[in-house]
Every structure is written in structure tokens, then in C-alpha cells.
């Protein structure tokens, strides 16, 4: 699945917001089961945000390094 660029740029921020909400709910909720579930969701969302952010940063670095030009093969290869 391909996402448009603005959606893909906002995705880490959305994951960070979900993670922050999960951590706050885990801190404020006195029930043990719901608190653990909220903490796990917050932790997973934080890992997802970091993963998407680092993948995006790596893609930007590679696109700066390589121009995307293709290799032109000489026609003398077929004998």
C-alpha cells in the first residue's frame, strides 16, 4: 500500500500522539488491566513512530546520494 507524501510525513506524529495518550491513560487509570493495555498500546505506537521516522530519514539520505539515473547498457553486449 502506498500513501501520499503528506500522509506519510504526518504518520510519525500521529503515532507519537497515540503513544502519548496511551502513556497518559496508563498513568491516570487506577485499574490494573486497562493500565497495562494502555501502556502496551502506547509503547507499540512509540516504536511504530520511531520506525517510520527512521525509515523516512533513511529514504531521504539515499535519495540525496543516488540521483535515480539508470545504467545505459552498451549495445555491444549482444554478440
How do residues 9-65 score in pLDDT, each as one tens digit? 898 999 999 999 999 999 998 889 999 999 999 999 999 999 999 998 888 888 777
From the number of C-beta atoms within 10 Å of its C-beta (0-12, 13-18, 19+), residue 33 rates as exposed
Long-range contacts from 67-74, C-beta under 8 angstroms, 24+ separation: none
* pTM value surpassing 0.85: no
Q: Which of 51, 52, 1, 44 is nearest to 20 (CA)?
A: 44
66 pLDDT higher than 80: no
Which cell goes with 24?
497518559
Q: Is the model more confident about 68 or about 34?
A: 34
79 pLDDT higher than 60: no
Amino acid at each position: 500500500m502506498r500513501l501520499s507524501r503528506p500522509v506519510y510525513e504526518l504518520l510519525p506524529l500521529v503515532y507519537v500522539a497515540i503513544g502519548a495518550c496511551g502513556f497518559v491513560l496508563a498513568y491516570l487509570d487506577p485499574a490494573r488491566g486497562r493500565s497495562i493495555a494502555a501502556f502496551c498500546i502506547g509503547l507499540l505506537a512509540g516504536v511504530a513512530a520511531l520506525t517510520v521516522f527512521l525509515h523516512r530519514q533513511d529514504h531521504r539520505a539515499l535519495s540525496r546520494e543516488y540521483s535515480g539515473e539508470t545504467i545505459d547498457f552498451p549495445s555491444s553486449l549482444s554478440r
